[in-house]
Amino acid sequence: MKVTVVGAGAVGASCAEYIAIKDFASEVVLIDIKEGFAEGKAMDLMQTASLNSFDTKITGTTNDYSKTADSDVAVITSGIPRKPGMTREELISTNAGIVKSVAENLIKHSPNVIIIVVSNPMDTMTYLAHKATGLPKNRIIGMGGALDSARFKYRLAEALGCPQSDVDGMVIGGHSDTGMIPLTRLATRNSVPVTEFLSDDQLTYVREETKVGGATLTKLLGTSAWYAPGAAVSAMVQAIACDTKKMFPCSCLLEGEYGLSDISIGVPAIIGANGIEKIVEIELDDAEKAKLTESADAVKKTNGLL
């Protein structure tokens, strides 16, 4: 299993580190346009191998795509992150050109690659990667829901006063402060609905804090977060590498599912060796359906800026 990570910045390097530590890939190639940057990050990470007990080989390159040849999975994190007060949508003018050229370069050297898009605005960048490459819909996946769901579980566990391992929950919809739909109705603590433990006010608090989870961190850090995003991507790469068939909410190109078409947006999907093995259509209540429609309208509006 060869994995390319485009962009050796905060998220790219964190993702490479988690992939290496989990030790399921033979090789991770970091690639960046900043001269020497990916090589430096790769060398630094390789010097943790004896300490962290992994055998994954991590190499770096400055924009030489021949080094990424025959990758099984590629992660696109290249582009600019948001600064405090910015929305993800404001990154579109810079990131669209980067994501398009990166996706085209990747498939030139790795015709069978499965691409995970991370760069923001992620749903629109995933849609753009589909349009730019024409790859089958199972081979381009946007990472947003895995991270948003992890943030949801963090907030649920906090409200419940329990370990996160006791909690299950999922966020669907667009990966934006207003588009995310944390499904509190379906969230559980050890199979008991969280609605049995938390008041409406507490559930509203959990939902709202989840939706602004990225913005909260951006304000604290001065730039967007990287540990949880890196961990979320690495979990998806692992599901592909190990063909686990794990279910993640992720940005999938829809062709009628959930009544939506010609859009990439967060819905539950089974992830395995073929990338998106299956989009899972769960029964939403009327309020959730209305929120998904509203979220999709906002994503389509951003797609219109391409």
Choose which of 139, 151, 175, 291 interacts with ligand NAD (CB under 6 A): 175
What is the size of the binding site for ligand NAD (CB under 6 A)? 34
Measured from the CB atom, the residue of 34 and 108 that comes closer to ligand NAD is 34
Shortest distance (Å) from residue 199 CB to ligand NAD = 29
Choose which of 119, 133, 210, 238 interacts with ligand NAD (CB under 6 A): 119
Choose which of 60, 79, 182, 275 interacts with ligand NAD (CB under 6 A): 79
Residue 34 near ligand NAD by CB under 6 A: yes
Residue 266 near ligand NAD by CB under 6 A: no
Residue 224 near ligand NAD by CB under 6 A: yes
Residue 82 near ligand NAD by CB under 6 A: yes
Residue 184 near ligand NAD by CB under 6 A: no
Q: Which of 2, 175, 189, 207 is catalytic?
A: 175
Choose which of 4, 56, 68, 120 interacts with ligand NAD (CB under 6 A): 120
Shortest distance (Å) from residue 95 CB to ligand NAD = 5
The residues, any chain, with a CB within 8 Å of residue 259's CB and separated by 6 or more, are 293
Residue 12 near ligand NAD by CB under 6 A: yes
Q: Report CA-CA distances (Å) from 33 to 7, 8, 47, 80, 288.
A: 8, 9, 22, 12, 41
Residue 176 near ligand NAD by CB under 6 A: no
Look up 130 and say whether it is catalytic: no
Structure tokens at 152: 């949801």
Query: SS in 3 state form for the chain?
Result: CEEEEECCCHHHHHHHHHHHHHCCCCEEEEEECCCCHHHHHHHHHHCCHHHHCCCCEEEEEECCHHHHCCCCEEEECCCCCCCCCCCHHHHHHHHHHHHHHHHHHHHHHCCCCEEEECCCCHHHHHHHHHHHHCCCHHHEEECCHHHHHHHHHHHHHHHHCCCHHHEECCEEECCCCCCEEECCCCCEECCEEHHHCCCHHHHHHHHHHHHCHHHHHHHHHCCCCCHHHHHHHHHHHHHHHCCCCEEEEEEEEEECHHHCEEEEEEEEEEEECCEEEEECCCCCCHHHHHHHHHHHHHHHHHHCCC
Shortest distance (Å) from residue 200 CB to ligand NAD = 28
Residue 78 near ligand NAD by CB under 6 A: yes
Of 32-40, 152-160, 188-196, 237-245, which segment contacts ligand NAD by CB under 6 A?
32-40
Residue 41 near ligand NAD by CB under 6 A: no
| Contact footprint for ligand NAD (CB under 6 A) | 6-12, 31-34, 37, 77-82, 91, 95, 98, 102, 118-120, 122, 143-144, 147, 175, 224-226, 229
The residues carrying an active-site annotation are 175
